[in-house]
A and B are shown apart, each in its own frame.
Chain A
Amino acid sequence: MTNTMRIDGVTRTRVPLGAAVPSLVRWGLSSDADLVFRTLTTFGSRTERTLAVELGLPARRTAEALAELRECGAAVSTTDVRAVSRIWTARRPAAVIDMLRSRNRRQIDPDSRVRSHREVMNGLRLSGIAAALPSSTVPGLPGRFAEGMRYLSSRAAARTRLAEVVGQDIHELWTMSPDQSPDAESARAAAPVDAALLDRGVRCRLLRPPLADGDRLDVSSHLVNGTSYQCYDSEDVPLRMLMVDRRVALIPADPRDLERGYFEFSGPAVMDALAGLFDRHWSSAVTRQQALVAPIQLSEREHALIALLATGHTDRTAADILTISPRSVTNMLRALMDRLGVENRFQLGLTLGALRVVTPPMNPES
């Protein structure tokens, strides 16, 4: 980092109290760094010393947290000579997440994409679900080569076939795409098709790696993650696949060269396997995304414990009800306090209350 302070993307307006600030812990930062970032974001710019005092953090931990935030670009400071008078400011959470995302994202190497594609196809072939699949070449002739399997021998043929399938009365179109930077031309070509599908009430799902440039060319952003068009990021999309109503799937014949056409699958066993594959990747991507935006996510057990303590149970009586040891209760609460960056039960209560995790029983005198 140079000595000049870059102020673009640096937050000027505070995030409203209680608003969800994405957790930086999920991106590999320490909980101290996360806590300091939240504080800067919610309460505005501060000096290191103010932060330490307010958060009750030892000076060393505060300094380390700030160093971490500076290193990943989540916070910047003024360049006063004396460290004590430097004022720290957080960048906008959305900009920070974008930066962390691109920092975390390794460029997916083409060979690993080919490998994961082959793994799926070999799995289908060797398990006997699609024994007739050629092992490494493409079939010599276009057309049906086994029950429920066809070879569409060019990209154009595949597009024509897809248009035909999609033109029928369909309900769902699921897409997996390993492209990190889809070219603008194909995105623009897809946009009107997507819009038409939405008009017809077709539910579309798209699973793909986080885009390299963060650009979303394909569909107007207000449509994304509505009820009928959903798109989630996944770092490990196994292969390119289009699936209609869990009934028909198109997969490139050669992952290195889309011009060599696609396989079309429609047999029930293959479709079960492919739909299962999609489901697994989809639900893990959805879970990850939700974890990212939720300020804190309690496990069912944690939630049950907190609900009991909220009604006035002691550690011991709560442990009895949950049939766990009082020691487990202590450990769960300790872990929760660490995640929230607080030191004691009173602060834990304050935080959970402010986050509306549980409703406290209150009957104040009138």
Chain B
Amino acid sequence: MSQKPKINLSDRERALVALLAQGCTDVSAAEQLGISARSVTNILRNLMDRLGVDNRFQLGLALGFLRKANVPGPSVGGEG
């Protein structure tokens, strides 16, 4: 990979990714964010499309690679 792809996460995406990174299920993440489980699916679908990946494993891989979430941990971007 010659060029690091850039992707900017919205606040909502960040919050969701952080929760999933802690091991939350879609449902519990949805509850904590006060959105529906269907919205969670949609947000992730959209994120996967933007990153050009097909499944959750690849999504994790891409976000981990881009350092968009800490593993495992609550924060996005490195602040503990």
> Which residues of A does B touch, CB under 8 Å?
14, 17-18, 35, 39, 42-44, 53-56, 309-310, 312, 314, 341-356, 358-365
Contact = CB atoms under 8 A, between A and B. Distances in A.
Given A17-B78, A43-B80, A56-B72, A347 B60 contact: yes
7 nearest A-B pairs in the assembled complex, by CB-CB distance: A349-B60, A353-B64, A56-B23, A43-B80, A353-B65, A350-B64, A354-B64
Contacts of A346: 20-21, 56-57, 59-60
A349 B67 contact: no
B60 A363 contact: no
B11 interface: no
A330 to B, nearest CB: 13
Question: Do most interface residues of chain B lie in helix, strand or loop, or is the interface mixed?
Answer: loop
24 contacts: A14-B80, A17-B70, A39-B72, A43-B80, A53-B74, A54-B73, A54-B74, A55-B23, A55-B73, A312-B55, A312-B58, A314-B55, A342-B72, A345-B55, A346-B57, A347-B21, A349-B58, A349-B60, A350-B72, A352-B64, A353-B60, A353-B63, A356-B65, A364-B7
Interface of B: 1, 5-7, 20-24, 50-67, 69-75, 78, 80
A362 B1 CA distance: 9
Nearest to B52: A363
Given A312-B55, A342-B23, A364-B50, A350 B78 contact: no
A47 B74 CA distance: 14
Given A43-B75, A347-B71, 10 more contacts: A17-B70, A53-B22, A53-B74, A341-B72, A345-B57, A346-B60, A350-B21, A361-B53, A362-B53, A363-B52
Contacts of A55: 22-23, 72-73
B62 A362 contact: yes
A39 B73 CA distance: 8
B23 A353 contact: no
A350 B60 contact: yes
